Structure 1
Amino acid sequence: MDTASVLAVCRVHQLLEDPGSVGVTAIDKRPVDGPVRVHKLGLHGDIQASRIHHGGEDQALYAYSQDDADYWAGELGRALPPGIFGENLRVAGIDATNAIIGERWKIGLDVEVEVTSPRTPCATFQRRMHEPDWVKRFTEAGRVGTYLRVVRTGSIEAGDHLHRIFLPTHGVTIGKWFSDPTLEAMEALRDADADGEIRLQPEYHEEFEKLGRRLGA
């Protein structure tokens, strides 16, 4: 299938003071040189300050596409180096936002990951970007990137090839579910999960209930 690459592997550089509920944030991710071990909970040496909202096996890694970063560089009029979005992986040749929920990628020689859910912007992210109304702008643009579940551990580094090795048949993308969740998309995801084609994280079922109530299903 498609071949792409990892431009940078990023992990926390330092914890920053933050007025949020935890008091610090680990959003300051920066590229690292050489191979980095990938565990079920993410990159070796990386952390999440707020484990309630970030991390866990279903959000072990966060990938953001260079094309989306280039879009924002044009909008904001400044360079946006790898890690600025809090991403662990800056990727090229693959559209993380339009990845199909449940699709799988092979990175390098042995790591396999699974696309799980979109990134929801928060106030900490807005403070990181130093842009007024950033949460609103990021949401409206819908260029959110994707969280990844680690299916097979190993080591990765910048320059590794990235191959899409499995595509679910339901067709619902990360961007579609984030920007325009519909009953049709919900039913497609629910059926794929029930059939064992994909494994949705528990939060999806909570979203399904809310969507059903809102749309009268």
Structure 2
Amino acid sequence: MLLGGVAIIAHGRERHTYDADIWLDPMDSADEWARVVLAVCNEVPGTTIHRLPGWVEVSGGDVARAVEEIGMIRVLGLGEPLDIFRRPNEFDESAFGEVAGRAHQNKDGTLLPDPLDLLQSKLETNRDKDRDDILHLENLTRASYCKRLPAATPAEASAMLARYSEWQVLQAALENPSPEVRELAMSHLREFAAAGDPFSLAILEGREIP
């Protein structure tokens, strides 16, 4: 499954990346995962495996220990660095199946996470490029939600808003003919207004958005 800059580019943002990030099925244990990675690297002459901190080269049992501690390793010798994750930022190993289930399968068989899952992987990085990536992914999500929510079933709307909710998508949900969906949107707006969001408050009071 693609992560990082490669995944962001696949989601339509034009930017550069100097490496590739992927998330491999975590399997049942770090030892099993490491054996597979080592076997593949052994088939590619010139590749080496490295770990943080300092990108120290590791081999054998140290690969499993590295991925258990850090959640990922880096492979060098492929032209560009390849970061392979067993446990990406903001996810644990058990989330792989759920995230893969929401992902889009590319023609080459790789998986592209949906924008919200990709956004989650970038929340705690505190890098300028990741803040720009998050803005791009939020815009994609907002556009998708505003298109889908006016016709969503109550179950669909509930699942969507449990993952992402803000005043603009809630405006779209208020266009839904279902009273249940509209009340769900209103409950979110009331919660946001109580927390001080002026846009939600304006919608509730029927005023022009400030």
Q: TM-score, normalised by structure 2?
A: 0.31
Structure with larger Rg: 2
Higher strand content, 1 or 2: 1
Please state which structure has a larger fraction of its residues in helix: 2
Structure with the larger RCO, 1 or 2 (CA within 8 Å, 6+ apart): 1
* TM-score (norm. length: structure 1): 0.30
